Amino acid sequence: MHIETMQEMVEWSAAYHQSFAGYLQDSVASSSDERAKMLSDYIADHERSLAKVLFAFKPTESDAALGTWCAEFLNDQPLPNTEKTDVRWAQMSADEMFAEVSAIHAQLIDLYRFLLSRCIATPAAEMLEQLIDIEEHEIKLMAQSANRLHEM
């Protein structure tokens, strides 16, 4: 991924969540674990919802944040390539799947924090803080529902 502006970061994040939703469902479709399938459907719905929020995301103060130049940082632990299914997901339990999804969201949060540390005194800082809050909120919602599913 080559991202130069905050606008590109937001668009890339939204597109990744949208793509990850379909990737997850397609990858888990052959699983024999019904809980895992239910969880993948639930997570996919959240990913699509998060993508919609991000596609509509605009800075509240000014458009200056969208033009802020930034560097991208995801070389150490690349995110899953969502262009083709991965049978590894179909072999995971619901708990393993949620742990993997949580790790992916943690990577995105770490990316936003990295960028925030590079532009702390710019209009983009508030925008990155909002992106971090959105990601953290969604993963908490997914965790609560995953726990409820586990109790069933």
The confidence score (pLDDT) of residue 126 equals: 84
Distances (CA, A) of 89 to 33, 69, 150: 11, 36, 18
The confidence score (pLDDT) of residue 51 equals: 94
How many C-beta neighbours within 10 Å does residue 2 have?
Answer: 6
Does 149 or 130 have the greater pLDDT score?
A: 130
Q: Which domains are delineated in the chain?
A: 6-151 (1.20.1260)
Q: What is the DSSP letter of 91?
A: T
pLDDT tens readout for residues 52-81? 999 888 654 444 554 555 444 555 566 778
